[in-house]
A = this chain, B = another copy of it.
Amino acid sequence: MALNKVVALAGGVGGAKLAHGLAQVLDPEQLTVVVNTGDDFEHLGLLICPDVDTVLYNLAEVQHLQQGWGRADEHFCVLEEVQRLGGPSWFRLGDRDIALHLLRRSLIDQGLSLTEVISSLAQRLGVHHAVLPMSDAPVRTMIQTPDDELSFQEYFVHQRCQPVMRGMRLAGLEQAQVSVAVAQAMTAAELVVFCPSNPFVSIDPILALPGMRSWVGERKAVAVSPIVGGKALKGPAAKMMQELGMEVQALAVAQHYAGLLDGFVLDAADAPLAVAVQALGMRVLVTDTVMHDKAGRRRLAAEILAWGERWG
C-alpha cells in the first residue's frame, strides 16, 4: 500500500537534501516537511531562519550547489556595504537571500504567523509541498561551552564551532507549542522520516515540542543516519558527539533515538553496524545514503518509502 501521508523532520543541509528527494517522489498533498527553527536568530534587523530557508531553496532548486545553503548565482552588494559601514558581516547573507528576508520581515510586521509567512515565501519560490516551521513561537538553541552560553549561529557561524560543546538548552521552549498545521500533519502521518540531520541541534529541538514524541512513537518512524563511516558529512554533529562523550558512529545515533523509531537507515559503509542497530529493536535499511545530486536524493527517498511501505 502506498504511503499517502509522510512527514519529514529536517534541519541543515542533509535534511534539505532528503526533503528535496521526498518532494520529487511524493505529491504536495502527500508530504509535509517540518523544519527546525532552533537555529533561527535576529540579525541585521531580520529574522534569519537558516534551516527553513535551506529547505525552501532546495525544494525550489535555487540553492547554492556547492554550499547546499544560500542561493545560487548570488551577489553580496549589500553585505559589502554593511561591512563598509562598520556593520556585522560574519553571517554571509547574499542579496537574493536578503530579498527573501525583507519579505519575511515585512510579512511578520503585517501580523502573520511564522507558519503563514513561510507558506507565502514558499509560494513565491514556487514550492508546492508544505514546509512548516516546527513552531510559531521562538525556540532558540543555546550551546553551552566551558566559558559561556552561545546562541547557535554565534557558535556555528561566528565561532565556527570552535568552542567545546558541554550541552545545550532550548530557550523559549516552555512557551512554545507546535502549530495547528504541524499537529494536523503529525496526526495524519503514516510515516515520519527523520532526515539525515544533526540529532542534537536539528531533530531534538523538534522532538522537544509538546506532543511530538508521542506522535512519532505512535507512527511508523524511521531515521537516516547523519553519521557515515564515523564522520558527519557536513556540520558539527561528529564534533558534538565526541564532546558529549558519545562514540562517533551511526550506532550512537540509533541509540540516541532508541525506543522512538521503527527503522534506521545506515549507509553501506556502516553495514557491519546493522546487527547492533537491529538489537535496539529497529529494522535496518542499508543503502547509499550520500546524496550527490538531484537523482541521488530522489533515489534515497524512493528507497526509504518503498522500504516503509513493505512493513505491515
Contacts and interface: CB of A to CB of B under 8 A. Distances in A.
B103 A42 contact: no
Given A77-B96, A98-B78, A85 B45 contact: no
Interface residues of A, number: 31
Contacts of A95: 75, 77-78, 81, 95
State the number of copies, please: 2
A87 B99 contact: yes
B42 A109 contact: yes
A312 interface: no
A105 interface: yes
Nearest to A103: B87
Contacts of A99: 78-82, 84-85, 87
A85 to B, nearest CB: 4
A176 to B, nearest CB: 21
Contacts of A98: 78, 81, 98, 102
A305 interface: no
A82 B102 contact: yes
Contact of A44 (B81, B84, B103): B103
A306 to B, nearest CB: 36
Interface string A56-100: 000000000000000000010111111011110000000110111
6 smallest beta-carbon distances between A and B, as pairs: A45-B105, A81-B99, A77-B95, A45-B106, A85-B124, A81-B96
Interface of A: 42-46, 75, 77-82, 84-87, 95-96, 98-100, 102-106, 108-109, 121, 124-125
Given A44-B106, A78-B96, A86-B124, 18 more contacts: A44-B102, A45-B102, A45-B106, A46-B105, A75-B77, A75-B95, A77-B78, A77-B95, A78-B78, A81-B96, A81-B99, A82-B103, A84-B99, A85-B99, A87-B102, A87-B103, A87-B106, A87-B124
25 contacts: A44-B102, A45-B45, A45-B46, A45-B102, A45-B105, A45-B106, A45-B108, A46-B102, A75-B77, A75-B95, A78-B95, A79-B99, A81-B96, A81-B98, A81-B99, A81-B100, A82-B103, A84-B99, A85-B99, A85-B103, A85-B124, A85-B125, A87-B99, A95-B95, A98-B102
